[in-house]
Amino acid sequence: MSRLRPRSDAGQATVEVALTLPVVVVVLLAVVQVALVARDDLVVLHAAREGARAAALAPGGSDPTGAAEVAARHGAGHLAPTRLRVEVAVGARLVTVTVHYRAPTDVPAVGALVGDVDLEASVTMQREP
């Protein structure tokens, strides 16, 4: 009389992990890429705020445009200066600073799928007398 052996499921978990691990890794890399772009977006907003503040506080006889550009570039911190563009619009009472930045997406396996992201922030402040 032959005995029937129970079926072994020992390799099933290994196969499931092997199939799902690449998907999990790509999702985690996508989360990292989104976090890096979000960080750059906050830095762009900070740079625009710093530029608008410098232009708003510039003395009446000085050039608020130059002060805004220097402050915005300084406020941009780690961002690549070649990818950063600062626009300043000075009116009689208001100053608007707009910062444009092309954020690189260079996280492996995800960055090539997404492409670089254009970020923009604009801040308007009232000029001090």
pLDDT digits (tens, 9 = 90+) for 78-110: 999 999 999 999 988 999 999 999 999 988 888
Residue 2 lies in a domain: no
Which H helix or E strand runs over 51? helix 12-57
Is 0.85 surpassed by the pTM of this model?
Answer: no
Query: Would you say residue 39 has pLDDT above 90?
Result: yes
Residue 1 lies in a domain: no
**Would you put residue 77 in left (φ > 0), alpha (ψ -120 to 50) or beta?**
left
49 against 109, higher pLDDT: 49
**Which residues span the domain enclosing 65?**
12-126
pLDDT value for 4? 66
CA 65/CA 95 separation, integer angstroms: 9
Residue 122 lies in a domain: yes
Residue 3 lies in a domain: no
Q: How does the average pLDDT of the chain come out, rounded? A: 90
- Counted domains in the chain: 1
60 against 12, higher pLDDT: 12
- Find the distance separating the first CA and the last CA of the chain, reported in whole Å: 104
Residue labelled with tokens 């050039």: 63
Residue 106 lies in a domain: yes
Sheet architecture: strand order including 94-103: 84-90, 94-103, 117-126
Which H helix or E strand runs over 84? strand 84-90
8 Å CB contact between 87 and 97: yes
Residue 71 lies in a domain: yes
Residue 113 lies in a domain: yes
Residue 16 lies in a domain: yes
